[in-house]
Amino acid sequence: MKHTTPLSRRTFLRRGCTGMSALPLLNTLLNLRLMEGVAAASAPAAGEYRALVCLLLAGGNDSFNMLIPRDPTAYATYQTSRSNLALPPAQIININPIGLPQFGVHYLMPELANLFETGKAAFVANVGSLIEPVQNRTQVAQNSKRLPLGLYSHSDQIEQWQTSIPHSRSGIGWGGRAADLLKDLNANQTVPMGISLDGGNVFQTGNSVAEYSITTSGATALSSYNAGWVQYHDLQNALSTAVDSQLTRQYSNLLSQTFNARKKSALDAYNIFATASAPALPGGITFPNTYVGSRLQMIAKAIQGRAAMGATRQTFFINWGGWDHHSDVLVSQEAMLPQVSAAVSAFYNQLVALGVANNVTLFTASDFGRTLTSNSRGSDHAWGGNQFVVGGAVAGKKIYGAYPSLALNPDVGSEVNPLDTGRGRFIPTTSCDQFFAELALWLGVSKSNLPLIFPNIGNFYDVNGGAPPLGFVM
């Protein structure tokens, strides 16, 4: 019988997790790292604080009308490929990325254009879910490369953008796994590291952590416990008629103790958060009264109260749906993109007023990009798309990754654009792993721990090298 040497955790992390067929091994290794007590980054300097804000544009934002090439030849290709979905020059705000030809942003996003031109925002081009690099449509057609589950599927892709695990379905998010490693940096664990403005989510769910849900008015009221007590008493009555009275008494006591412990924990979190986020924000910044604006304003209040919460590291989550524009994409974007631009600009200005602009980084995410071609009314599900990041720590006025040629392959015949799998569904040239690893490192995750959060990172980035994954945060 051939003897094989067991794969050690250290060897596994050095090689990466790309050979995994199941997620339990990843979760086991993460738990072992936590048990070893070496998961957290070095203790931050006194007063140091960092937070990530995830703005999920659920449904699939048509981001090739958010970031548009303005070089004459590239723009002509864009016009031809987009047909009736192409923005005319008068509806494009020119921006001047460092080291690249001129680009443009949607004409109703002047605030984002200004943040970019002043070096406070950057774009990440043609980013998407990947297990390993894919070079051309032939590899896709022949399945010669491992491809993400459920390409072009909302349910699969929106999950993968939150988990960065495209080879398997998972309910554990990369933000949650990062929090598993970093939460002990926070002096007080009562209010969790992950705070959500839109309820339960995969992104902030970890092996040992979950999101703390709030509303635009602040901490969620505890009236729901009244219903809980009713359910508890109903269960107690049922037990009394079903089993021995002594057993009932013991079980109900245990249930009561558990319920009361959780209630006390929730009450403590409520009181701390409500008190910490109550003061008015400084600077006289006006937030738009919109879905994103009201949520970013509440996040700013939470950030202002970070010291009272004992928070050194935090993540925040916003989920704004409605971006699945199979029809009326131009009209819908005219209503929605300006809300994003104005709200993000107000949020950045508020961070400046709070003195923490360098400590908070906001990034966008979306299920996928959309087809470059028109279905005569709108665009359909695709793959790679463009995202942006905003913050004082952002190395801005740059486009990171490789913006693709927007030329389309014919249905039959020679391959004009290797990245086009059909109708302008572009193979991503930057993986979600690279995008998110950059953010996780900035938040405080060590390079050696990246494979615990992004099991395929070794296919795109050398964790033992000196260069950053993309370089858009400092």
Q: What is the pLDDT of residues 292-323, one digit of tens each?
A: 999 999 999 999 999 999 999 999 999 999 99
Residue-level pLDDT at 25:
59
Residue whose C-alpha is closest to residue 54's, from 144, 156, 176: 176
**The model's pTM:** 0.88
The residue-averaged pLDDT of 394-400 equals 98
**pLDDT tens-digit series, residues 408-450:** 999 888 889 999 999 999 999 999 999 999 999 999 999 999 9
Average pLDDT over residues 80-90: 98
147-161, 221-235, 323-337, 370-384: segment of lowest average pLDDT:
221-235
Greatest C-alpha distance within the chain: 83
Domain of 72? Answer: 25-220+285-459
In a domain, 255, yes or no: no
Is residue 261 in some structural domain? no
pLDDT at 414: 84
Give the least confident one: 137-146, 199-208, 241-250. 241-250
Domain-located, residue 82? yes
Please report whether residue 342 resides in a domain: yes
**pLDDT above 70: residue 260:** no
* Alpha carbon 271 to chain centroid, angstroms: 28
| Sign of the dihedral through C-alpha 132, 135, 139, 140 | positive
Q: What is the pLDDT, as a whole number, of residue 142? A: 95
**Domain total in the chain:** 1
For residue 128, name the pLDDT band (cuts at 50, 70, 90): very high
Give the lowest-confidence range in 72-86, 204-218, 254-268: 254-268
Q: 52 lies in a domain? A: yes
Q: Is 279 domain-assigned?
A: no
| E strands, 382-449, in order | 385-390, 399-400, 430-431
As to burial, measured by CB atoms within 10 angstroms (0-12 exposed, 13-18 middle, 19+ buried), residue 35 is exposed
Identify the CATH number of the domain in which residue 132 sits.
3.40.720
Instruction: Say what the pLDDT of residue 36 is.
Output: 55
Mean of pLDDT over the chain: 89
* 464 found inside a domain: no
Percent of the chain clearing pLDDT 90 (strictly above): 79
pLDDT of residue 47: 72
To which H or E segment does residue 32 belong?
helix 24-36
Q: Do residues 382 and 63 make contact, with C-beta atoms less than 8 angstroms apart? A: no
* 346 found inside a domain: yes
